[in-house]
Structure 1
Amino acid sequence: MSAYKAFKACVPVEWSDKLYITLVRGMPGTRELHRLTLEALCLRKSNRTIVRKNTPTVRGMLQQVKRLVAIETKEMYEARKQKEANHRALQPPLVISHHPAPKTDSS
């Protein structure tokens, strides 16, 4: 289990005042009720994230479509975005010299 997944498993969603909800699976092939629930949450395209207040109504809607969405707290969302930014950051160029190293006298 990665550190991020371990952290995600330990943080109770009920304690957070806002929820970051990301649609991770597409809507085609899902039930009509699930599609209507996702539209009520304003999730229409995959990999889009919305922010909602943590209320029992929203948690009930998320319980209905839990296999289609990823639910994160603010800290979890920022940690994931930071990890993605570090992954996309430019790496220093790799310099390879094809010339042999100069010989030194070891006597």
Structure 2
Amino acid sequence: MNAFKAFKAGVPIQWSPNLYITLVRGIPGTRRLHRRTLEVLRLGKCNRTVMRWNTPTVRGMLQQVKRLVVIETEEMYKARKQKEENHRALRPPLVITHLPAFMTGSF
């Protein structure tokens, strides 16, 4: 389950000292207070991830912009990155041999 689906499903997350915050919604059209909060969190563009300590101040800021961001624990972030890395890994090449019909024995 990716982080966004886990967030939407309300899956309980273990406490973590670090939070990984990803901006998943666009900034244009948001309130000025929300834009300033994202600026303080250093989230300037979509799909950017930052790591912040899990403090009451940061959690309060995230509560304001919770519809714009996805919050992951360190464990969830590492699992997502590992899955993406495995997806991008080199695969063995597909080898196709074109043999004439009389050599394969089927006519």
Question: Counterpart in 1 of 2:40?
Answer: 40
With normalisation by structure 1, the TM-score equals 0.82
Question: Counterpart in 1 of 2:71?
Answer: 71
Identity over aligned pairs, percent: 69
Q: 1:102 offset after TM fit, Å?
A: 4.0
SS at match of 2:91: coil
Q: 1:10 offset after TM fit, Å?
A: 3.3
Q: Give the total of aligned pairs.
A: 100
The 2-side partners of 1:57 and 1:70 are apart by 17
Question: Counterpart in 1 of 2:11?
Answer: 9
Q: How does 1:1-107 map to 2 (within 5 A)?
A: 2=1, 5=5, 9-12=11-14, 15-99=15-99, 100=101, 102-103=104-105
What is the letter of the counterpart of residue 68 of structure 1? L
SS at match of 1:9: coil
Cα gap change, 1:40/1:89 in structure 2, threshold over 3 Å: closer, same or farther? same
The 1-side partners of 2:23 and 2:52 are apart by 13
The 2-side partners of 1:85 and 1:27 are apart by 28
* Contact map agreement 2:2 2:80 (CA 8 A) in 1: no
Q: 1:6 offset after TM fit, Å?
A: 5.4
C-alpha deviations, 1:21-68, integer Å up to 9, x for none? 111111011111100110011111111111111011110100110111
C-alpha deviations, 1:46-102, integer Å up to 9, x for none? 111111110111101001101111100111000000111111112111111221564
Cα root mean square deviation, aligned: 2.2
Cα gap change, 1:31/1:56 in structure 2, threshold over 3 Å: closer, same or farther? same
The 1-side partners of 2:45 and 2:38 are apart by 10
SS at match of 1:10: coil
Structure 1, unpaired ranges of 5+: none
